[in-house]
Amino acid sequence: MDQPAISDYGFLSDCRSGALVGRDGSVDWWCPDRFDGPAVFGRLLDPEAGHWCLAPVAAGRPGHRVERAYRPDTLVLRTVHHTPEGSVAVTDALAAELGARGHRLGMSSPAVLLRTVEGLSGRVRMASDFAPRPDHGLLTPYLHDQPDGAVLAVAGATVLELRSDGPPLRAGPDRVRTEFDVAAGDTVGFTVAYGRTYGERPARLDPSTMMAETVQAWEAYRETHQYEGRYRDLVRHSAVVLTGLTYTRSGAVAAALTTSLPERIGGDRNYDYRYAWLRDFSMTLRALWVAACPSEASRLFAWAARSIGRPGPEPVPVLFGLEGERDISEHDSTHLRGYAGSRPVRFGNDAWRQRQLDVPGEMISAVWRLHHLLGDPLDEELREMVLGLADEVADTWHLPDRGMWETRDADRHYVSSKVLCWVAMDKAVALAPRLGERADARRWAAIRDEIRTSVLREGWNETVGAYTGAFGCREIDASALFLPVAGFLPATDPRMRATIEVIERDLGTDSGLVRRWDTDPAGFLLCSFWLVECLVLAGERERAEALFERVVGHANDVGLLSEQIDLHTGAQLGNTPQALSHIGLINAAWRLTDPTSD
């Protein structure tokens, strides 16, 4: 299947939903209701699952060239098409609420996709092909011309309203096609507004006015984010991407915009990442704290605390829906062919059912990191949460689990999971004075020390000369790089230093990429950024800087990173844009700025 490369896509967001638009001018992914809702444009996963292409008629022919960039500190994307007849700029955005500024971005977004065409030189023939297919391509809508010139697309629970302030629109049997000329100085605007079939009619907005409002909303939002450390432009842009992945209504950060983009073309490790993972919590908080502002980190924490609720007999799931939904059961699509033929296509993620021992450590660490904002003493709900999670770790740390890579085979005693159990006990001890009479700091400290002894004894493999992925195994796993990052061992510890060297030798590449394990077909970007942090902590700053600069070179032309990079072609793989990759970039840049940061 001939599909655009993953790196060909730019990311649009209104902080409740997101869209992907290709270099060819086609919007191939948009779930307008919320990030994890049904797509109305799904060509990303099947050529027949819907798209909206707006580009010169000459696109793709000899003499056609594309340049694109975001407006600074925004997710408003400007694509310039140069053709033999002239040049045009297409600016794409998801509309902000009228007058939205600061942290109101995304609170009441109107769910409107804005596209404006500006003539720059000559006279260019443009074509628009609007072919929505709601419910992930299951539905072909009825198209209705309206007296005011709009076209309504209606199917199932979805209504889309296409408008133009330029060429007239006419409904075809299953799409709206139109061609028009744009001369230098001309501006033509389009909007597609989303609504519910049995709700109010979709919002009607002036494209030029709303484009200006959306730019101002993003710029005002970014004014609250101050970062003056190293690699400032890269960090600020990654912070904008994280903002774009934040579901503002709750504060949850989606792991990625997409589902089922493969780790290997034609492979079956294709998962739905449109949810929020607690495992990533402390790393996400640290990145928001460094590159964003405290209120964003606090809102994310409040979402997680509410989602967990009062700890009970069932273990805390590793991920939740964006409004705290716990049951996000997985199912395979039977009608979508998958990106480049990679099947299955999955909606939902059954990792929520797995036992993941590392989750409490992430949460208790987050409370410890933010305790000065959360109050002294902590309120009753936070005390109960920490006490419950600490007791859960005390009772279960010795059990096997599925590990941070969420394997779908057997449970094992993963080293990284045990380390985060140690983190949970260590931070619970530190928080004990704020937790009231039920805090059992002496017991927690004893268990913490027992976990540490177990990891140091069982996690080290003398034959391999490194800490391995799980107790009693010989498989090198890049998750061992997390030990110094989590503060479990200094990077200068002789065994830890040996582990870093083995991972560099056996899992690293000349391009700076680090695989998770030796059979992993691609470099995992977060692991590469962990290696940067480890080298800084080991006192090898120059090597760390050189590695960081090689790794960030894998971003696409508008600074977006997916989950993985193909070792042979350099192509981006996996769901995109990937929050953990941008979180890793921010945290590694800050480590290069301040090696003593925790």
Q: What is the pLDDT of residues 53-95, one digit of tens each?
A: 999 998 989 999 999 999 999 999 999 999 999 999 999 999 9
Q: Decide if pLDDT at 556 tops 60.
A: yes
208: confidence class by pLDDT, cuts 50, 70, 90: very high
Q: Decide if pLDDT at 464 tops 70.
A: yes
- Which one has a higher pLDDT value, 205 or 52? 52
**Does the domain at residues 6-223 carry the CATH identifier 2.70.98.10?**
yes
Q: Decide if pLDDT at 99 tops 80.
A: no
* pLDDT number for residue 323: 95
What phi and psi values does residue 572 have, to the nearest 5 degrees?
A: -75, 145
Decide if 21 contacts 115 (C-beta within 8 A): no
Q: List the one residue out of 342, 338, 315 whose CA is nearest residue 326.
A: 315
Output the six-digit token pair for 543: 């090597």
Place of tokens 């109960």: 384
Q: Which residues contact 19 (CB under 8 A, 6 or more apart)?
A: 11, 12, 13, 27, 29, 30, 41, 92, 94, 113
Place of tokens 């009479």: 437
Separation of alpha carbons 375 and 259, rounded Å = 38
149: confidence class by pLDDT, cuts 50, 70, 90: very high
Mean pLDDT of 389-398: 95
379: confidence class by pLDDT, cuts 50, 70, 90: confident
Give the Cβ contact number of residue 197 at 10 Å: 11
* pLDDT number for residue 103: 60
Q: List the one residue out of 244, 114, 271 whose CA is nearest residue 559.
A: 244
Q: Decide if pLDDT at 102 tops 70.
A: no
Q: Decide if pLDDT at 1 tops 60.
A: no
Decide if 261 contacts 344 (C-beta within 8 A): no
The phi-psi region of residue 575 (left if phi > 0; otherwise alpha if psi is between -120 and 50; otherwise beta) is beta
Q: Decide if pLDDT at 383 tops 80.
A: yes
Separation of alpha carbons 74 and 88, rounded Å = 21
Mean pLDDT of 372-379: 67
* pLDDT number for residue 311: 72
Q: Which helix (H) or strand (E) holds 151?
A: strand 151-155
Decide if 511 contacts 549 (C-beta within 8 A): no
29: confidence class by pLDDT, cuts 50, 70, 90: very high
The CATH fold assigned to 232-593 is Glycosyltransferase (1.50.10)
Separation of alpha carbons 523 and 368, rounded Å = 32
The residue type found at 86 is G
* pLDDT number for residue 302: 81
3-class secondary structure per residue, 335-403: CCCCHHHCCCCEECCHHHHCCCCCHHHHHHHHHHHHHHHHCCCCCHHHHHHHHHHHHHHHHHCCCCECC
Q: Decide if pLDDT at 493 tops 90.
A: yes
Q: Which residues contact 313 (CB under 8 A, 6 or more apart)?
A: none
The residue type found at 352 is W
Q: Decide if pLDDT at 398 tops 90.
A: yes
Mean pLDDT of 321-335: 96
Residue 370 sits at the vertex; the CA angle it makes with 366 and 376, to the nearest 5 degrees, is 120
Mean pLDDT of 382-411: 93
Bridge partners, residue 116, by sequence? 91, 189
Mean pLDDT of the chain: 94
Q: List the one residue out of 211, 17, 40 whose CA is nearest residue 114.
A: 211
* pLDDT number for residue 426: 97
* pLDDT number for residue 291: 84
* Integer-rounded Cα radius of gyration of the chain: 25
Cis peptide leading into residue 400 (ω within 30°): no
108: confidence class by pLDDT, cuts 50, 70, 90: confident
Q: Decide if pLDDT at 376 tops 70.
A: no
Looking at residue 64, what DSSP letter applies?
A: -
Q: List the one residue out of 588, 584, 561, 586 whose CA is nearest residue 256.
A: 561
Between 23-32, 382-391, 479-488, 558-567, the lowest mean confidence (pLDDT) is in: 382-391
Q: Decide if pLDDT at 210 tops 60.
A: yes
* pLDDT number for residue 231: 97
Percent of the chain surpassing pLDDT 90: 82
3 state DSSP class of 28: strand
* pLDDT number for residue 221: 77
Residue 60 burial (C-beta neighbours within 10 Å; 0-12, 13-18, 19+): exposed
3 state DSSP class of 232: helix
Q: Which residues contact 141 (CB under 8 A, 6 or more apart)?
A: 132, 133, 134, 153, 154, 155, 158, 160, 174
* pLDDT number for residue 63: 92
312: confidence class by pLDDT, cuts 50, 70, 90: confident
Separation of alpha carbons 376 and 61, rounded Å = 65
* pLDDT number for residue 580: 97
pTM greater than the 0.75 cutoff = yes
* pLDDT number for residue 597: 78
Compute CA distances 283 → 75, 302, 355, 433, 588, whole Å: 23, 16, 20, 25, 11
* pLDDT number for residue 318: 94
Mean pLDDT of 275-295: 84
Q: Decide if pLDDT at 440 tops 90.
A: yes
Q: Decide if pLDDT at 382 tops 90.
A: no
Q: Decide if pLDDT at 294 tops 80.
A: no
Which alpha helices (DSSP H) does 24-169 contain, by range? 134-137
Separation of alpha carbons 182 and 202, rounded Å = 28
Decide if 297 contacts 586 (C-beta within 8 A): no
* pLDDT number for residue 293: 67
pLDDT digits (tens, 9 = 90+) for 229-275: 999 999 999 999 999 999 999 999 999 999 999 999 999 999 999 99
The residue type found at 298 is S
Q: Decide if pLDDT at 327 tops 70.
A: yes
Q: Which residues contact 390 (CB under 8 A, 6 or more apart)?
A: 360, 364, 424, 425, 428, 444
What is the rounded end-to-end Cα distance, in angstroms, of the chain?
46
pLDDT digits (tens, 9 = 90+) for 502-550: 999 999 998 999 999 999 999 999 999 999 999 999 999 999 999 999 9
- Domain spans in the chain, listed from the N-terminal domain onward: 6-223, 232-593
Decide if 273 contacts 259 (C-beta within 8 A): yes
Q: List the one residue out of 456, 444, 451, 458 whose CA is nearest residue 412.
A: 458
Mean pLDDT of 157-165: 97
Compute CA distances 321 → 275, 307, 317, whole Å: 5, 9, 11
201: confidence class by pLDDT, cuts 50, 70, 90: confident
Output the six-digit token pair for 321: 């829906």
The phi-psi region of residue 375 (left if phi > 0; otherwise alpha if psi is between -120 and 50; otherwise beta) is left
